[in-house]
Amino acid sequence: KQEVTQIPAALSVPEGENLVLNCSFTDSAIYNLQWFRQDPGKGLTSLLLIQSSQREQTSGRLNASLDKSSGRSTLYIAASQPGDSATYLCAVESQGNLIFGKGTKLSVKP
């Protein structure tokens, strides 16, 4: 059974710092991995999608990497801003649907 773990559960950083969020999964047989952002009480906004054959994807200040063999992904956020404060969710497409971690709650202090 696929399980997704995200570390840390919460992170607080001062504005301008670069940071890394971690995601690990137990079964390397995945189709893709997707990072989402969720603001309090809202739905999910897709940030980056990495296919299983890819190693990384970039969008603006965000860079996500995937190491399928070790079951790990990282989301790198450069020059963090207060507007980046949200919960970040990692999900793998496995066994026919998306399986999520519990998320990392990020707070960027001005």
Partner 1 sequence: DTGVSQNPRHKITKRGQNVTFRCDPISEHNRLYWYRQTLGQGPEFLTYFQNEAQLEKSRLLSDRFSAERPKGSFSTLEIQRTEQGDSAMYLCASSFSQAYGYTFGSGTRLTVV
Residues forming contacts to partner 1 in the complex (CB under 8 A) are 4, 31-32, 34, 36, 41-46, 49, 51, 89, 91, 93, 96-103
Q: Which is nearer to partner 1, 14 or 41 (CB)?
A: 41
State the minimum distance, in angstroms, from the CB of residue 110 to partner 1. Answer: 25
Annotate 65-89 with b (16+ C-beta within 10 A) or e (fewer). bbebeebebbbebeebeeebbbbbb
Q: What is the closest distance, in whole angstroms, from the C-beta atom of residue 60 to partner 1 in the complex?
A: 17
